[in-house]
A and B are shown apart, each in its own frame.
Chain A
Amino acid sequence: MTIHAGDEIPRPGLDDRERELAPAVVTSWRLSAALGWILPAVVALMLGFVLGDGWGWLVLAVLAALVVFSVVFYPPMRYRRWRWQLTELAIELRYGVLVRTQETVPYFRIQQIDITAGPVDRLLELASLQVTSASASGSATLPGIAAEDAPRVRAELLARAATAVAEHPGDLRDAV
């Protein structure tokens, strides 16, 4: 199940089923991949001219293959692999095509939640939500959820974090 931008009925709370990202994130990934290829493409074109007929064509062919793969085929693969879930104890992320990654940040450890949206994301009505713990490296980022859902996800996470903290007495509330 996906949280679609069209689901207008606000749910009372988010349950613990597996969720996907907003489908529009594929477009966002495609755009950023295409933008990222501009500089390598210029270099490769110049290299192609320098190297001349034989090697030059090979360089350009390799470049074209890489661009097509990373813009056309890779983003949908990445999207299909992305799942996130609010389990009983933690927010869990599972993603990755080549390297499968599972990230878990328990609600109790949440220190900060950021919602960010770049210009492309805002055009596509997307937002990314970053959950940070006291560890510099242990954070979880949802790279593209529907912008109108983001505040609700954040509210839900904050509520769960508050509950998790309230369950513990005095000096155990300190998560560091």
Chain B
Amino acid sequence: MPTETGTPSAGTAGSPRDFREPRRLHPASVVLGVPLAQAVQALIFPFVATLAAPRWFTLFVLFSVALVGGVVRFFDWRMRTFSFDGEVLRVDHGVLSRNHRSLDVSRIQQVEIQRGAIQRVFGLAAIRVETAGSASEPEVDLRVLPEADAVALRSAVRVSQARLTGRAPGAAPSDDDPTAAAEQEVLRVPMRHVILASVTGARLLVLPAVIGGALQFIGNQIGPFVDEAIEQMVELGLAGETPTLVGPDWRLIAVGVALGLVLSVAAAVVVGVLRDGNFHIRQVDEDLHVSRGLLSTRDSVVPLRRIQKVEIKRNWARRVLGYATVRIRSAGGSTGGEGRVTVPLLPNDEVDRLLGCLLPNVDGVPDLHAHPPAALRRAFFRWLRPAVLLIAAAHLLPEVIAFLDTDLVATAQPYTFLLLPINAVLAVIEYRQLAHGATPLVVAARSGALSISTDISPVVKVQALTSRRSFFQRRLGLTTLVAHVAGPGALVTVLDAGRDDAARLHTRLTEHAASPIPVVPEREDGQPGADGERDGVGVISQPATTG
């Protein structure tokens, strides 16, 4: 083992705000540092493998696995140190092969503090640091730290970042007191909105499963009744008098269905409230602090200048009720859907205000322009093509393939034609929602039929552009324009815009991407900056940089 320079102090010892000396995580990380899923995985295999053996043997094997795991974790804790000297965050770990990681503070995109339910009891937290990149794991994941240390480390990173960018943090916080910063609450989602979000959200996807269960329940109720009916029909002869039947107990069925619905909705609400309860966003200097969760909490910091894209999503239920969800993407956020910051529910009239807080100098969703009528033909084509293929398959395949030629397929065949009107309506809806807009500050695109999404990116974040024109699009004079921004899967797609519009937008966004100088539209004369002439109309604002 290599000799360390100086003995690393234990996580609990030493000044809580001085991270210059390498220090260890909290000793509890030996146990709490293991993700629950990993621990379960490690124990379930020996458990299953020794199921046939006597019980004492199973216990012995499980105990050995836990012991070995504990020893490995202990050495991992002993050998894992981190330090932060104001510029570079260093993490050294590894027992046999040492791994040294240095992370420059200017590369940090997002810092997140997470407290699990157990960790909260002991006053502990995990801190994860994200950089730009599409890795599947956060760049640095320090679990578990005393909560005060995690918060202090995050403040230290923030202060360094502020110093580096030359933006003096608002209330001139010094290193001694990083908490004295300009702080302002941007948004707080009330509990009724969190509940409404879980009732109208994707978590209700469990509903089909519940309905399936309910149907089985109904089947069990009706089954004997059908059997009886068939029996009677056979006995009486089909041409005979009307069979006398005793109906199933409909009351029982109704109660079962109602119970299933209530249970699934309740489950969705409980999960949603635990996850998103107490959701609030604060702005501290130039950073957004997003906190959520009742039992286990998650607290993300996204620097405002790192926001790449804001998505405003409305599924049909939320559209009817007048609400939206807002998703904020930074270039980090490697941990899949969880890494993004999603506002669970927001009334429509608050969307513009939130957008103004997220994207500086933007006062809401820009005016969106509809796409030419030719795009409706493409929408029909997109929606009707799969429908026609399915109908053709349903009608032709049974002719060719013998075993598909069953009564079931025959009864289903006429119903496939229902897809045509349904998909046609969806195509019309999609066309009516298709729109895009651009101001000197942002580019925005709206699309979707059932769930409608409006994507907004600052023009200074556009990295590259792609325009595509298929054969049919060329005939209809349409172009699909994609603006790429940093971050996994982050695109703003303008589907089927008019050819000239798209060409102009391509050129203009190229200029912005080539020279990302933030533009503040002039407001004195009530004339916001016009599209396309950012140099003529917009006032170029550059933060005063010293050296």
B514 near A89: Cβ-Cβ < 8 Å = yes
Question: B331 in the interface, Cβ–Cβ < 8 Å?
Answer: yes
A136 near B134: Cβ-Cβ < 8 Å = yes
Question: A107 in the interface, Cβ–Cβ < 8 Å?
Answer: yes
Q: Which of B470, B513, B517 has the most CB of A within 10 A?
A: B513
Q: Knowing A101-B467, A137-B484, A137-B489, say if A167 contacts B515 (CB, 8 Å).
A: yes
Binds A, one of B253-261, B356-364, B458-466: B458-466
A172 near B514: Cβ-Cβ < 8 Å = no
Q: Knowing A99-B469, A174-B106, say if A139 contacts B516 (CB, 8 Å).
A: no
Give per-residue flags for B498-512: 1 if the beta carbon is below 8 A from chain A beta carbons, else 0: 000000001000110
Question: What separation, in Å, do the CA atoms of A135 and B491 have in the docked complex?
Answer: 9
B471 near A133: Cβ-Cβ < 8 Å = no
Main secondary structure of the interface of B (DSSP, over half): mixed
Question: A10 in the interface, Cβ–Cβ < 8 Å?
Answer: no
Question: What separation, in Å, do the CA atoms of A107 and B491 have in the docked complex?
Answer: 19
B464 near A139: Cβ-Cβ < 8 Å = yes
Question: A170 in the interface, Cβ–Cβ < 8 Å?
Answer: yes
* Chain B neighbourhood of A176, CB < 8 A: 109, 132, 306, 331, 486
* Chain A neighbourhood of B167, CB < 8 A: 171
B489 near A136: Cβ-Cβ < 8 Å = yes
A107 near B514: Cβ-Cβ < 8 Å = yes
Interface size class of B (residues with CB under 8 A): 35 or more
B516 near A108: Cβ-Cβ < 8 Å = yes
* Chain B neighbourhood of A9, CB < 8 A: none
* Chain A neighbourhood of B109, CB < 8 A: 176
Q: Which of A107, A136, A175 has the most CB of B within 10 A?
A: A136
B464 near A133: Cβ-Cβ < 8 Å = yes
Select from chain B the residue with minimum beta-carbon distance to A102: B467
* Chain A neighbourhood of B306, CB < 8 A: 176
Q: How far is the CB of B18 from chain A (nearest CB, A)?
A: 27
Select from chain B the residue with minimum beta-carbon distance to A97: B471
A171 near B506: Cβ-Cβ < 8 Å = no
Q: Which of B166, B465, B542 has the most CB of A within 10 A?
A: B465
Q: How far is the CB of B408 from chain A (nearest CB, A)?
A: 29
A134 near B486: Cβ-Cβ < 8 Å = yes
Question: A105 in the interface, Cβ–Cβ < 8 Å?
Answer: yes
Give per-residue flags for B514-529: 1 if the beta carbon is below 8 A from chain A beta carbons, else 0: 1111000000000000
* Chain B neighbourhood of A167, CB < 8 A: 515
* Chain B neighbourhood of A134, CB < 8 A: 132, 331, 463, 486
Contact residue among B484, B510, B547 (Cβ-Cβ distance under 8 Å from A133): B484
Question: What separation, in Å, do the CA atoms of A102 and B481 have in the docked complex?
Answer: 9
Question: A138 in the interface, Cβ–Cβ < 8 Å?
Answer: yes
B514 near A108: Cβ-Cβ < 8 Å = yes
Q: How far is the CB of B316 from chain A (nearest CB, A)?
A: 29
* Chain A neighbourhood of B145, CB < 8 A: none
Question: A142 in the interface, Cβ–Cβ < 8 Å?
Answer: no
B545 near A170: Cβ-Cβ < 8 Å = yes
Q: Which of B165, B466, B485, B542 has the most CB of A within 10 A?
A: B466
Q: Which residues of A contact B (CB under 8 A)?
A: 89-90, 96, 98-109, 133-140, 164, 167-172, 174-176
Can you list 14 A-B pairs with a CB-CB distance of less than 8 A? Answer: A90-B514, A98-B471, A100-B470, A102-B468, A104-B510, A106-B514, A109-B514, A135-B490, A138-B484, A164-B514, A169-B542, A171-B166, A171-B543, A171-B545
